[in-house]
Amino acid sequence: MGGLLDASTPSTEVVAALSADSGRYTWVAAAIGSQNAAGLQLATELPVMAIGGFNGSDPSPTLAQFQALVRAGRVHYFAAGNGRGGPGGGAGGSSAITSWVTASYRAVTIGGSTFYDLTQPTSATGTAAETQS
């Protein structure tokens, strides 16, 4: 059995970055789809939010809910899509979340993978971008 049920294995650099200061966050990262989240969670043994459920298409959390969690400092990183585990931004709000994150937060490369540091906004994130949900 391969393909759909294979979670990616993050690099040691990714594991170290997500594990650093992990006690400050409810989720060390968020990723679109449970397959994308699974590899990070298994490697770090820390909570990772699967946005949109199994394939990224479930409407949970909504954009407004995710924005509130980020504003409250409960999520550290957002994992950029890697093409695995579903459409990575289809129906159900995951596309809106991805768009908001990429427009509002700084991209960082960790061990060859792209993440968005949700503690490092690129501009004032309490403005019009957050009110569109």
pLDDT, tens digit, for every residue of 44-61? Answer: 999 999 999 877 777 789
Q: State mean pLDDT over 6-32.
A: 93
pLDDT tens track for 83-132: 333 334 444 578 999 999 999 999 999 999 999 999 999 976 543 344 33
Distance from CA of residue 98 to its chain's centroid? 8
What residue type is 128 in one-letter code?
Answer: A
User: What tokens appear for 79 in the block?
Assistant: 């994992």
**DSSP state, 25?**
-
Whether the predicted model's global pTM rises above the 0.75 cut: yes
Q: Which of 14, 15, 17, 54 is nearest to 32 (CA)?
A: 54
- Domain extent listing, the chain: 3-131
Angstrom distance (rounded) from CA 124 to CA 90 = 26
Lowest mean pLDDT among 23-27, 35-39, 54-58: 54-58
